């Protein structure tokens, strides 16, 4: 098994504009992903995600409404996010079949320099996480006003 990249594609019955709002707005994020989010959808901004007592920082990388949002996370406290110390998540949105095709990619596992066991643990945990949270996004986005 290759532990370098996680890729998922889902169709969401909501417009790309609505899906973009749902993946970038703290008020919407907490409905499908973290317990709470503090972030601004501006390239270079740093925020936090709250998963119980786990509060990773998130650094916004690219923002191109309504088609692209990416960020870096899982980097050491007190350090800036870089290619060699963080994971990179990219959401690409494309209008499709009256809704949105969302492609999510998470990379950077190998670049972190983790030992094999640690690499496998983080990779499997994140696969499990995305497999849990992306269906919640698919269910939630169409309920947002203006989603059609």
At 52-92, the pLDDT tens digits run 999 999 999 999 999 999 999 999 999 999 999 999 999 99
What domains appear along the chain, each with residue ranges and CATH number?
Answer: 5-143 (3.30.530.20)
Residue 114 has pLDDT above 90, yes or no: no
pLDDT at 148: 60
Look at residue 147 in the predicted model and tell me its pLDDT.
Answer: 67
Sheet containing 5-12: order of strands: 5-12, 99-107, 87-96, 68-73, 57-64, 46-50, 36-38
Flag whether pLDDT at 142 surpasses 60: yes
């Amino acid at each position: 098994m290759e532990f370098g990249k996680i890729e998922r594609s889902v169709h969401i019955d909501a417009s790309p504009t609505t899906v973009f709002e749902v993946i970038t707005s703290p008020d919407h994020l907490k409905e499908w992903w973290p317990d709470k989010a503090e972030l601004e959808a501006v390239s270079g901004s740093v925020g936090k995600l709250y998963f119980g007592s786990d509060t990773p920082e998130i650094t916004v990388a690219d923002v191109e409404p309504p088609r692209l949002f990416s960020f870096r996370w899982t980097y050491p406290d007190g350090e800036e996010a870089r290619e060699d110390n963080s994971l990179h998540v990219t959401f690409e949105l494309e209008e499709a079949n009256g809704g949105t095709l969302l492609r999510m990619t998470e990379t950077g596992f190998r670049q972190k320099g983790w030992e094999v066991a640690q690499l496998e643990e983080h990779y499997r945990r994140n696969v499990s996480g995305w497999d849990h949270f992306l269906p919640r996004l698919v269910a939630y986005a169409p309920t947002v006003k203006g989603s059609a």
